[in-house]
Structure 1
Amino acid sequence: GVLDPDQEIETMLKLREAFPQHPLRIDPMGAWTVPTALRVIDKLAGVLEYLEDPVRGMDAMAELSARTDMPLATNLVVVEFEQVIEAVRKDAVQIVLSDPHYWRGATGSIRLGEICRAAGLGVSMHSNSHLGISLAAMIHVAAATPGLSYDCDTHYPWSSREIVKGGRPVFVDGRLQVPKTPGLGVELDREALADLNSLYNRAMVADRDDTDEMKKYVPDYVRKVPRW
């Protein structure tokens, strides 16, 4: 949802050329109107595995869903258990994105998977920036979630640092092994943690500000939804 939709379409088509066998997804974060989303879907039919939160709100998602066969996923319009019922009733989404960081922890995320399986909805897992402790938690939850029907998202490869002993986990064919030792199966590297704590204290970044970051590249940028 950052670039003009035509640039987003071009990007996805180029990715399809480069990775012909990989499932592709895009998350506009509610930045499109329903007509814009339909136009993008028409251009990317057969390219996307699913489309995540292209429009804003449950009713807009339901309107779009009624006009396309493209599976729609969300981590914006279904964020409470009772909203699963509303989403099914309105046929607003076909895939719910779990996340143990806000679905009441590991047990809440597993419960969400059970509810979605009973409701006939697909389940995947949302991701944001995280290190090895969160990654280990996500792996355990994914392995224990019934009906996990799509590969999980992870932003982990974006980071270069780590705070668990043993170094960064290695992905093999897009997969990670479930840790087998007690608890989450990871041990905290306190020296690495102290190093990153020192960096935090020097940088003094208390919260992420996407709008401020965008203005570095587009000085007149104003955050608004929908944008197109």
Structure 2
Amino acid sequence: MYEDFAADLAVTMWADFDETPTRTTDSPTITNLDTVVIDGNFPWTIVTIEAEDGTTGIGECYPSPGVHEVITDYLKPVLKDENPLDVERLYYLMRESLSGRGSQWGIGTIAISGVEIALWDLAGKILDQPVYQLLGGKMRESVEVYADCHAGEAMVSSAQEGQSAETYEPDAYARAARATVNDGFGIVKFDLDVPSGRRVNRKSRHLDGPEIEHKQQIVEAVTNEIGHDAEVAVDLHWNFSPETATRLCQAIDGYGLAWVEDPLPPENADATTMVAEQVNVPILTGENLYGRHGFRELIAQQGVSFLAPDVPKTGGIAETKKIAEMAEAYYQTLVPHNIGSPVATMATVHVGATVPNFHALEYHAREIEWWDDLVDQDEPLIEDGHIEVPDSPGMGIELDWDVVEQYKK
């Protein structure tokens, strides 16, 4: 029932939007669309899209409940028998088919993003070209990667479930940062919205003086340890009010931070711009914004120094490239968010290869020892804090499906 409804809705709405291009007898067609979830440090939803000749493209959706159902119940019937080389047309077709069901933001956009990535990979394989070439060619041979490093457990929620406060002391962060730099990374980032051992009313988005001092001590310990060996950034995860975010940024000014990420909730571009104008540290945000329209106001206001779209969340490869092009008109730089598997990572690498205003790509899986094992190649993807832009067709990687089977949910 869902498949028939989705297909009928897409045909009806698309008929008013555009005409389907005439196909030739040798045009490739899409035969199947499916997902599998890998149990990494996040649930990585891998998308597979198959053409009639057996060629398969791979993509990835941002970790979200319900993505599989959106893809298989709604998008699969929409894309079946379509030409996978018409990536941009199919992107708009998917958006129209989910109009009113999240194709502007949220779960629908996330599902579309993963499928769009898989379409680019499939198109590249069919045409025997790397994705970056289909996007206009590359501007750099490699993309810099920055690493998240943590004291204690990887996620703050673990501390809130009873982990000792000592795990989050400044010295623990300094040691974690040094280990990350020793791994070859030239930019490291750590969470600063962490427990201090004191009782704090987090819902108020306010920190008192001792709490701000605790965060300042962490920054001081890390930057003293790292010196000029690497850049250091911090993440606040949208937890604070403009008042507290301003005071905190002022307290950690002077330590030469690369950026402060997400000091405020993402919905209010005016508030973020106001804080950025009152502090000296660069502000980064954007992982919770969707598509060009979601970034438009923040870009036009020139509200922050760095933008952090998440490719498998914000609309996919081409949409992220368009966000970068909008940002370039205002001299803003991309530092994409990424908590994904090698698939999401390589999708972002191809964006980074094609735009001038690309600084670095996030890597959030240092604690996953088998992360590289997912890729069917001998060499690690990341070497000396960089990923080489591959010249092989599609995104340039293939998954080792035996390893996927081993770690799938």
Superposed pair shares fold, TM > 0.5: yes
Contact 2:376–2:400 (8 Å) recurs in 1: yes
State the distance in 2 between where 1:90 and 1:136 align: 30
Look up the match of 2:231: 23
Look up the match of 2:366: 157
- 1:172-219 deviation line (CA, Å, top 9, x unaligned): 33111112221111122121111112xx2xxxxxxxxxxxxxxxxxxx
CA, structure 1 residues 89+194, in 2 after alignment: closer, same or farther (shift >3 Å)? closer
State the distance in 2 between where 1:62 and 1:39 align: 15
The amino acid that maps onto 1:158 is E
Contact 1:65–1:91 (8 Å) recurs in 2: no
The DSSP-based 3-state class of the residue aligned with 2:382 is: coil
* Greater mean deviation of Cα atoms: 187-196 or 134-143: 134-143
Look up the match of 1:138: 348
CA, structure 1 residues 77+187, in 2 after alignment: closer, same or farther (shift >3 Å)? closer
Residue 378 (structure 2) pairs with residue 183 (structure 1): no
Look up the match of 1:2: 194
Contact 2:327–2:333 (8 Å) recurs in 1: yes
Look up the match of 2:382: 171
- 1:34-55 deviation line (CA, Å, top 9, x unaligned): 2222222222213211111102
CA, structure 1 residues 179+156, in 2 after alignment: closer, same or farther (shift >3 Å)? farther
Identity %: 20
The counterpart of 2:336, out of the listed 125, 130, 153, is: 125
- Superposed displacement of residue 113, structure 1: 0.7
State the distance in 1 between where 2:361 and 2:342 align: 16
Residue 232 (structure 2) pairs with residue 40 (structure 1): no
The counterpart of 2:282, out of the listed 71, 89, 99, is: 71
CA, structure 1 residues 170+187, in 2 after alignment: closer, same or farther (shift >3 Å)? closer
The counterpart of 1:13, out of the listed 212, 216, 220, is: 220
- Superposed displacement of residue 28, structure 1: 0.8
- Superposed displacement of residue 64, structure 1: 0.8
The amino acid that maps onto 1:181 is S
The DSSP-based 3-state class of the residue aligned with 1:39 is: helix
Look up the match of 1:50: 259
The amino acid that maps onto 1:163 is L
- 1:13-67 deviation line (CA, Å, top 9, x unaligned): 1111121121111111111222222222222213211111102232321221231
- In the TM superposition, what are the counterparts of 1:85-104 in structure 2 within 5 Å? 85-104=296-315
- In the TM superposition, what are the counterparts of 1:100-111 in structure 2 within 5 Å? 100-111=311-322
Contact 2:253–2:280 (8 Å) recurs in 1: no
Higher relative contact order (CA 8 A, sep 6+): 2
- 1:54-93 deviation line (CA, Å, top 9, x unaligned): 0223232122123123221112564332343322454432
The amino acid that maps onto 1:66 is E
The amino acid that maps onto 1:17 is N
The DSSP-based 3-state class of the residue aligned with 1:156 is: coil
Residue 336 (structure 2) pairs with residue 115 (structure 1): no
Contact 1:110–1:141 (8 Å) recurs in 2: yes
State the distance in 1 between where 2:310 and 2:379 align: 21
TM-score, scaled relative to structure 2: 0.44
The amino acid that maps onto 2:298 is A
Please list every run of 5 or more consecutive structure 1 residues that lacks an aligned counterpart in the other structure. Answer: 201-228
Contact 1:165–1:187 (8 Å) recurs in 2: yes
State the distance in 2 between where 1:147 and 1:75 align: 15
The DSSP-based 3-state class of the residue aligned with 2:244 is: helix
- Superposed displacement of residue 170, structure 1: 4.8
The DSSP-based 3-state class of the residue aligned with 1:24 is: strand
* Greater mean deviation of Cα atoms: 173-182 or 163-172: 163-172
- Superposed displacement of residue 168, structure 1: 6.3
**Which of these two proteins has the greater Rg computed from alpha carbons?**
2
Matched positions, count: 196
CA, structure 1 residues 84+190, in 2 after alignment: closer, same or farther (shift >3 Å)? closer
Please list every run of 5 or more consecutive structure 2 residues that lacks an aligned counterpart in the other structure. Answer: 1-192, 196-210
Contact 2:234–2:261 (8 Å) recurs in 1: yes
* Larger strand fraction of residues: 2
The amino acid that maps onto 1:112 is I
Please provide the CA RMSD for this pair. Answer: 2.1
State the distance in 1 between where 2:301 and 2:394 align: 40
CA, structure 1 residues 77+196, in 2 after alignment: closer, same or farther (shift >3 Å)? closer
* Greater mean deviation of Cα atoms: 186-195 or 154-163: 154-163
